[in-house]
Chains A and B, each alone.
Chain A
């Protein structure tokens, strides 16, 4: 899975690990390579016990492989700090941001570290929450609240899959701005997101919601990481158009959301009908709470 992406010396060590438990690989220039394996960070070491130090050349090699020798084709992603490579592998990039005259980032140069996240499908992980948000009688607009790395994307993906399995057919639109949910490569979803799901990858939520509602007439829109005011506005517009929205947001709990952008309005106006709070307390994907539209706990 990673042979095409990693330098030979690093791959030869990574290959010995069980890919099912390998979550991340962090390569920082002139620093030891780090992996997150079975939920723990550890240094990659040669059999002699010596740490693997990452060179500039190796970082460049990973970047060239990830972009299939076509940096220009990935520049719109690179300037946002990530690349989605084959197989849904998400590569975060850190380096010097280059900006245009109007302060818009145009690219990242002198890349200093690369963070490779290996996607894992956890089929059935939404079983517990699904009964609270969807049935043949209808689907509830839901916001998944979680800190980074607590499994919200995996949960959203499984929800999309399970919605397709309901007896009643719902047309689902998956807005995958950062290619994380379906990980489309050459127009094909690398990860299973259900058979009644249309996927719009790469565009902004505002663009995808507006055009998607107009052109694809979805019953449900599923999207990841609401970040900006535009994203929230797109959600509101969709829900006012009668489309249910299942989305996620970075926060520790629902109380944190009152401090963020326009989320306060979203919550006080009861636009979302369910809130699922996730954490990593008892492992990735721990369900802390499920709240209804009045923020009453209905699952603890």
Chain B
């Protein structure tokens, strides 16, 4: 019986580790998708000159993760209603730092307000900042994801040993 409890303890601590990693995984995926969005926006302005709403719809259809889709839908809704500043308090984006949210707000506030040249310049600028955030988020995830797992499993094992 005691061994079963120990196994459960190790497994549950592994889940705790996974939960702790969630934030960094979400951030990494979010910035990768943001980069994809900027690419789509750039491509649209250069070739198609379609309205932003259609680019957003196209982008959303290319995202498979339902929760990620919801997050971006929320941002796009705030953008369409002119309430981009509300992103700062959105629970769905709590995994982003204040600095990262400020970048997002700045990007969406300026989006669609200029001609092609201005728009491309703004997207280009935001894109390089997003790339920085993305590579930082990726590095951080790669460095710490395994560590969090290992640590949480180790905690589970230590607790099991203590129980035994």
Contacts and interface: CB of A to CB of B under 8 A. Distances in A.
B11 interface: no
Contacts of B82: 61, 64
Nearest to B49: A73
A289 interface: no
Nearest to B56: A69
B51 A70 contact: yes
Interface in B53-103: 53, 79-80, 82
Contacts, number: 44
Contact of A69 (B45, B49, B80): B80
B50 A73 contact: yes
A186 to B, nearest CB: 8
Contacts of B114: 71-72
A70 B52 contact: yes
B119 interface: yes
B49 A72 contact: yes
B80 A72 contact: no
Interface in A46-68: 61, 64, 67-68
A75 interface: yes
A68 B82 CA distance: 11
A72 B53 contact: no
A67, A71, A107: most-surrounded residue (chain B CB, <10 A):
A71
A75 B111 contact: no
Nearest to A60: B113
A164 interface: no
Nearest to B119: A72
A69 B111 contact: yes
A69, A72, A107: most-surrounded residue (chain B CB, <10 A):
A72
A112 interface: no
Contacts of A70: 50-53, 112
B115 A72 contact: yes
Contacts of A204: none
Interface of A: 61, 64, 67-73, 75, 106-107
Nearest first, the 4 A-B pairs at minimum CB distance are: A69-B112, A70-B51, A68-B51, A75-B115
